[in-house]
Amino acid sequence: MKFCKKYEEYMEKQCQNKKLPRVGIKKLKKILKRCRRCHQSTHSFASVSADTNSTNNVHDSSTCSHHQCTVCDGSFFPSLLKEMSEVVGSFNKRAQRLLGLHLSSGFRKYLILLKERIQGNHIALVQEGKDLVTYAIINAIAVRKILKKYDKIHYSKQGQAFKSQAQSMHIEILQSPWLCELMAFHINLRENKEKNGKALALFDGCFLAFNEGKPSLTCELFDSIKLDIDLTCSICLDTVFDPVSLTCGHIFCYICACKGASVTIVDGLQAANPKEKCPLCREEGVYEGAVHLEELNILLSRSCSEYWKERLQTERVERLRLAKEHWESQCRAFIGV
């Protein structure tokens, strides 16, 4: 079965109960088809002109390749940009709500547990998490395939350039920190159910892998696409501790991210200057929307227990030192010393 048909069938099934944004792959293909016909007619005309001009030793600019297409660029890229933005917005909102329910604490947690027992909503939450990961992956493949088709028709790299632009605008769905959190959520649930001896339909393709002691989050789903998320902090070069994901998609330890943003742990990443850059990709304005990866934190604390105990002790000492320095500087500023 061709991917386009598989994608449409999947989205139709998902949209039976709720309306979800999607990549209009059929509409975009029609635009490219119209563009291909125009290119073919132009190419035929150019060939005739080239034969005529070769006789007269005249160069015709219509035979030169162009990087931009006037036929479809005005509708293709704006449509795709709008659809990608809607898809990632919907995904982030739904994933945030789902994980908020799962990670709730205190009185709210007891209310949710009671409601689950009465209505059997736990399985529904797990299924929704599974559907969300599938939704993210299949839409990422749809975008990849339609951009590849664009480049093939136009003999250009505009599709790749657009993908880079989408990443800088934070509308690339595989870049979303909530996808990383959902993967960790599934692994945590699977481990809990295995301990309790209960079977639950979760992704077999999502797992935490270790290569020479360095962890990575891996997901293998659909059309041979493989998602690898490196869990080594590029600042301290250790496994991320109390991980946060910046809006550019890069993951750091919380303390390391604060150092990179030139803020204290007391003020937090929200206080970072908008001009501060990601230590890895050097993109500006990535700290304000940083996400604390709670599910990933739980997963790593279970999987790297010895490292976690050692790091927890050193982290406590470091945080106390940084907090003390912060308040001492505040006091000196207050009394004018």
**pLDDT tens for residues 267-287?**
888 889 999 999 998 888 899
Tell me if 89 is assigned to some domain.
yes
Q: Are residues 83 and 185 in the same domain?
A: yes
Three-state DSSP at 327 gives helix
Domain for residue 289, yes or no? Answer: yes
217 within some domain: no
Residue 21 has pLDDT above 80, yes or no: yes
The span from the CA of 335 to the CA of 337, in Å, is: 6
Domain of 251: which CATH number? 3.30.40.10
pTM above 0.85, yes or no: no
Residue type, 256: C
pLDDT at site 253 = 94
**Domain-ending residue, one of 162, 177, 212:** 212
Q: How many domains does the chain have?
A: 2
Last residue of a domain, one of 178, 212, 246: 212
Residues 30, 178, single domain; the answer is yes
Cα separation of 49 and 44, whole Å? 9
Range of the domain at 326: 231-336
Listed in sequence order, the residues at least 6 apart from 28 whose beta carbon sits closer than 8 Å to its beta carbon are: 76, 79, 80, 146
Is residue 219 situated within a structural domain? no
In sequence order, the 6+-apart residues with CB closer than 8 A to the CB of 203 are: 130, 133, 186, 219, 221
Residue 20 lies in a domain: yes
What's the mean pLDDT when you consider all of the chain? 78
Whether residue 254 sits in one domain with residue 207: no
- Please check whether residues 32 and 158 belong to one and the same domain: yes
pLDDT at 305 over 70: yes
Residues 127 and 252 in one domain: no
Shared domain for 183 and 235, answered yes or no, is no
The residue with greater pLDDT, 260 or 52, is 260
Question: Mean pLDDT across the stretch 57-86?
Answer: 64
In-domain check, residue 310: yes
Q: Is residue 225 included in any domain, yes or no?
A: no
- Report residue 25's pLDDT band, with 50, 70 and 90 as the boundaries: confident
Residues 191, 157: contact at Cβ < 8 Å? no
Q: Are residues 160 and 260 located together in one domain of the fold?
A: no
Query: Does residue 124 share a domain with residue 14?
Result: yes
Residue where a domain stops, chosen among 182, 212, 242: 212
User: Is 112 in contact with 104 (CB distance < 8 Å)?
Assistant: yes
Residue pair 244/257 in contact by the 8 Å Cβ criterion: yes
* Mean pLDDT on 69-90: 82
Tell me what the mean pLDDT of segment 230-237 comes to: 92
Q: Are 37 and 181 in the same domain?
A: yes
